[in-house]
A and B are shown apart, each in its own frame.
Chain A
Amino acid sequence: MSVLDILAYPDEQLKQLSVTVDQIDKDIQRFLRDLEETRLAGPGAVGIAAPQVGVLQRVAIVDVSNMKKPCDNHGHMIMINPEITQWDGMVMGREGCLSVPDFTGNVIRAESIVLNYMDELGEKHEITSTGFEARAIQHELDHLDGLLFLDRLVSRRTDLFRRKIYK
């Protein structure tokens, strides 16, 4: 296993469309182990996508199970050919990215999503993810389409954080 180099914007590979994985073999499984090791080496990264290390394949990892503030989650998720099929609600949150060092910004994401993907053994999954995990998945899947959170920035001066519950 090895820690891979993380590309930083303006590396143009981060703006490319990644291709579908058509075969899950030993090579991709080895790559996934390296990708996970790279994620763990990043400072507090809850996710990573293949294009961030210059591999333009539709593969990403998300794991929000170790957050300081616990949130609903599906544990450690390796997602091959992931696809979001439903989006619900909108919520603003603060995001940063291993590929955009020393900058964070506000991004609006769906609050709840339905996601289809294959794991590293080729098994198919369909899950409903909400909140922080859903945000992480949307952030990583954007990488597979050549999008960074910079493409979705909204003003820092807009306060949409509060979700006051009116009685």
Chain B
Amino acid sequence: MNWSVLTLVGADQKGIVAAVTKMLFEANCQLAEASMMRLGGNFAIMLRVAHDAATNLQSVLQPVVDKMSLHMHLDDDVSTSSHHIEPDVHITVYGADRTGIVAQVTSLLADAGLNIVDLETAVGGSAEQPIYIMSIEGNAQQGIEALHEAIKNLADDIEISLTEIDTLRG
């Protein structure tokens, strides 16, 4: 089996996931980790797919891509295994929306050793007073304290809180 990373983006409409995964299933593909969500008025799919070396994913999906006006991108999967990295810290950020929030927060955190596992953001509030909300999970590779220190240098208009994730194993 070969592994590929598939990205599909298009105007949101009913039935994208069903149509795409049906085509893949009929072509004997196996799905692994996926992230699929509405982004503004778009719908985005990121998906790891295993397929026979002989299967051309491009041609498998072309009918649905054309029918639903999607944009497709295919990459070889660089993963060496499907083993998950367990995040040990959860970070919540919010503030009045302005440019630079993500860049400032993630630069400080990256310099302090954070490897991001999962990040999502949303714009909420009213059209006149939008607020920006970000939720991050990651690995504190230099320890949680380093992150606590780093966020002290953050601009005053951004609220940020860091919570250690104590995973219970039973």
Contact = CB atoms under 8 A, between A and B. Distances in A.
A140 B168 CA distance: 11
- Range, interface on chain A: 20 to 34
Given A102-B83, A104-B86, A159-B135, A136 B163 contact: no
A117 interface: no
A157 B86 CA distance: 15
Judged by DSSP, the binding face of B is: strand
Interface residues of B, number: 19
Contacts of A164: 161
Given A156-B118, A157-B135, A46 B169 contact: yes
Given A159-B92, A161-B165, A98 B118 contact: no
Interface string A62-104: 1000010100000000000000000000000111111000111
Given A95-B168, A157-B120, A159-B90, 7 more contacts: A94-B167, A95-B169, A97-B170, A103-B84, A136-B168, A159-B135, A162-B163
Nearest to A103: B84
A10 interface: no
B120 A94 contact: no
B111 interface: no
A43 B167 CA distance: 12
B90 A161 contact: yes
Interface of A: 42-49, 62, 67, 69, 93-98, 102-104, 132, 135-136, 139-140, 143, 156-157, 159, 161-162, 164
A104 B167 contact: yes
Interface string B120-162: 1000000000000001010000000000000000000000010
Contacts of A157: 120, 135
A46 B90 CA distance: 22
Contacts of B167: 94-96, 104
B169 A98 contact: yes
